[in-house]
Structure 1
Amino acid sequence: MGHPYRIREIAVQAGLSEATVDRVLNGRGGVRASTVAEVNQAIEDLHRQRTQLRLAGRTFVVDLVVDAPVQFSSGVRAALEAELPGIRPAVFRSRFHLTEAAPVADIVATLGRIATRGSQGVVLKAPDDPRVVAAVERLVGVGIPVVTFVTDLPVSPRTAYVGIDNRAVGATAAYLIDQWLGDASGTVLVTRGDGSFRGEDEREMGFRATQRTVAPNRRQVDLVNTDGRDDLHRLVLDALAAHPDIVAVYSMYAFGGNRAVVDAFAEAGRTYRVFVAHDLHEHNLALLHDGHLSAVLHHDLRQDMRHACQVIMQAHGALAGHPRSWHSAIQVVTPYNLPPSPG
């Protein structure tokens, strides 16, 4: 059996003496068949573990570029930092470029600086804008793999997308709302943030298409709170005044917005039968606990970060397999399956 391993490595793996391994490898007599099998098995084991051997001592510098509300970007940063110690024997170091509602030109400038100074990989959440796509092209052109997450840039040459399937999660929201409402009539209020992120576009498309299938006569009212600059509370009050039959809410809005929706319903003296939101941050946990949210659609950011790091290693040939996109599992969290509080 051909192999690149030293006799000492095989002996350690097999738990045999170097002299015994030498006799087996060179076909000398006086060795039991079971011992030959142990040596062959040790070589097979070393083959399977070559990836780890290649990773030993490797350092990967990764840039996390996220344009999102502070609570979300902080959660992503914490998720990446929590995963890094477990990615062994490789060593990952991360640099953070976290902004909120930044001009596209600023995001492009950040990506340009990374392309100039070098990086082993970029994990990117950014608007689907031609200038961002061009910046990704430059990164990939100088050999820096780019992993998009949460929201994709499918027309760019990004290495892979990691995160939730946004069409599927929108469809899941429509299904859950229909299950709660049953045959009840009424309108669904859909709230969302800025329209420049493809992920929210895909969630809305998945929601609309599924609602059209499961409840074709149910109306949908869309409320777009651009970049968080509008008064969401006022916008919801206006929507409630214009549509007295709103009985359900699907919120794709950024962190902190759902409390404004709940407060607006209370001020208008209105109630809803179901409220489905996204992401299990502290505000949504409190709203779930108090019964203001019916369900939260959640995905594991740590798992996303783990897969993003694996894609980067694969892109550099340090991990077996070819880089490919990966979708997070959709978790449906209700007031009855809340995660335990820390501590």
Structure 2
Amino acid sequence: MQSAIAELEKQQTRGEMSGRKLAIDVVMETPERFSTAVRDAFEAEVATFPPMVFRCRFHFAEVMKQAELVQLLDRIRLRGTNGIVLKAPDVPDVAAAVSRATEAGIPVVTLVTDLPNSSRTAYAGADNRAAGETAAYLIGEHFGDEAGRVLVTLSSGRFRGEEEREIGFRRLLRESYPRIGVTEISEGHGTDAATGTLAMQAISADPAINAVYSIGGGNRAVLAAFEAAQRPIRIFVAHDLDADNRALLTAREISFVLHHDLRMDARSAFRAVMSRSTRGGIAPPALSAVEIVTPYNMPVLGSALPFA
């Protein structure tokens, strides 16, 4: 049934988009390992639509000043685009730039981290609070009745998606696993150098830390910090099935990766841009499922679920 619906959607798209080309600008402040996964997912999904319907222009930076991001969004609006896909901090200036774009008739789809107080057209990504709860369950069940302390890493507190993961994580620990404490580090921006320094400082200051929930990335640096301090890690839960995490999971250096299908997110974003019905309003979120990945069920590159 689902395949039949998908085929009908493709036929409708071919009819509606015949002879048309849509340019979409993908704007992200994110580590390179994740932006690479996003680019690959979007380019793979473009190939499933009628030829030349979509053309993606990518604007990526690992760290972007707020003023630079706002200027970029305004330049894209003034130059002209058929849609913007955006991963950005949830701050007032960014929300204002999104409003200027939607007022100009440009649909804006937030990707993996939402801007719920903006006029964005739709959100495409996972249920981040549920993902945080899933991480808490994995870690809590691993410790059982034992006490533990988890190092929670955020790339930045400015991203709503990361904040939602942390909220879900802390809530479930507080309610179901009260013996487990949390030490948080933030503002490493997912880069190895900054995240590694923050991790080293945290584990040096607190000998009780014996687990990791990596929300913001920089996992090789976090592992190196524990190794340098000669400190064991009982369980390590990470996000995003990028190249680094694939290698670390295969080598059993991390325990689980919480995966969601970026190609589904890309598909949802494309549909929101094509849809005229959601323009000017808030569409229901298109949530992709969170999957617990181990070394034994890792999606194969090039399959329908190639990235997280």
Q: Is structure 2 residue 84 aligned with structure 1 residue 122?
A: yes
Partner in structure 1 of residue 20 of structure 2: 58
TM-score, normalization: structure 1?
0.79
CA distance in 2, matches of 1:73, 1:184: 38
Partner in structure 1 of residue 208 of structure 2: 245
Q: State the 1:126 CA deviation.
A: 0.9
1:1-343 alignment, distance < 5 Å:
52-88=14-50, 91-227=53-189, 228=191, 231-254=194-217, 257-315=218-276, 323-340=283-300
Q: 1:237 to 1:128 in 2, by over 3 A?
A: same
Deviations 1:165-214 (A, max 9, x none): 11111111001111111111121111111211111111111100011111
CA RMSD of aligned residues (A): 2.4
Q: State the 1:223 CA deviation.
A: 1.4
Partner in structure 1 of residue 5 of structure 2: none
CA distance in 2, matches of 1:50, 1:335: 39
TM-score, normalization: structure 2?
0.88
Q: 1:58 to 1:270 in 2, by over 3 A?
A: same
Greater Rg over alpha carbons, structure: 1
Once the two structures are aligned, what percentage of the paired residues are identical? Answer: 48
Q: State the 1:160 CA deviation.
A: 0.4
Q: Once structures 1 and 2 are overlaid, which stretch shifts more, 309-318 or 163-172? A: 309-318
CA distance in 1, matches of 2:99, 2:283: 17
Deviations 1:7-36 (A, max 9, x none): xxxxxxxxxxxxxxxxxxxxxxxxxxxxxx
8 Å CA contact 2:240–2:260 kept in 1: the answer is yes
Q: Once structures 1 and 2 are overlaid, which stretch shifts more, 233-242 or 165-174? A: 233-242
8 Å CA contact 1:147–1:162 kept in 2: the answer is yes
Q: 1:181 to 1:97 in 2, by over 3 A?
A: same
Deviations 1:145-172 (A, max 9, x none): 0000111111001000000111111111
Partner in structure 1 of residue 306 of structure 2: none
Q: 1:337 to 1:212 in 2, by over 3 A?
A: same
Partner in structure 1 of residue 3 of structure 2: none
SS in 2 for 1:244: coil
Q: State the 1:89 CA deviation.
A: 6.6
Q: State the 1:229 CA deviation.
A: 8.7
SS in 1 for 2:284: coil
Which amino acid is the alignment partner of residue 132 of structure 2? G
